[in-house]
Amino acid sequence: MLRLHHRAREQGFVLPLSMGASLVLLLGSLSVHTTSLQVRLQGIREQQQHRAEDRLASAGQQLLADLQRSHPCLLALPLQQWDVQGLACAPAATIASLRAGEVLGSSYRLVDWRPQLAPAELLLEMAADGGQPARQGAFTVQLAPAQPPVVPQPQITDVRLVGLRGVAP
């Protein structure tokens, strides 16, 4: 009788052990799955950040190229002076079109232009797009000074995207 009682105890121990091992495996696989999802979301965020930087870089280059080519006199003036002193070299409609534009299917607006700083600073804002918030980007712009009469206006020698300045509200 003692042998039967001892054998009954041995048979009941395999099921709880296998259930415990299954639970450990299940929790381990959930942990690995959660980690992989977090890595994937981080990759998506990085891609969105790179796309926003690419759009901002394209917008900045497009705007500065337009200024250099068509209205170099505006390069010497801070943005706040464009509506007054800038009218001497560009019509009001042109100045308005330079303050906002579109590149790569996204709208941007000129937030600030400070040529008096060394290097000059350009601040653009990309409009909210496809569920992404509006983002601002800052550029440093190297300007070679005007050398009249040969080069009557400042010349752009280098443009660098400093990066995103955060998310606009």
**Secondary structure letter of residue 23 according to DSSP:** H
**Average of per-residue pLDDT values in the chain:** 84
| Whole-number pLDDT of residue 6 | 57
Per-residue tokens: 155:
């010349």
**Inter-residue contact 164 to 153 (CB < 8 Å):** no
C-alpha 143/C-alpha 133 separation (Å) is 31
List pLDDT tens digits, range 30-86.
999 999 999 999 998 888 888 888 888 999 999 999 999 988 889 989 999 998 888
Full-model pTM: 0.73
| Whole-number pLDDT of residue 52 | 83
Per-residue tokens: 131:
């569920």
Q: What is the dihedral of CA 100, 60, 75, 119, to 10 degrees?
A: 140
Residue 137 phi, psi (nearest 5): -135, 140
Sign of CA dihedral 93, 73, 82, 116: positive
Percent above pLDDT 70 for the chain: 89
For residue 17, pLDDT over 70 is answered with yes
At how many degrees (to 10) do helices 92-99 and 14-70 cross? 160
Higher pLDDT, residue 124 or 133: 124
| Whole-number pLDDT of residue 168 | 45
List pLDDT tens digits, range 88-107.
888 889 999 999 999 888 89
For residue 149, pLDDT over 80 is answered with no
| Whole-number pLDDT of residue 8 | 53
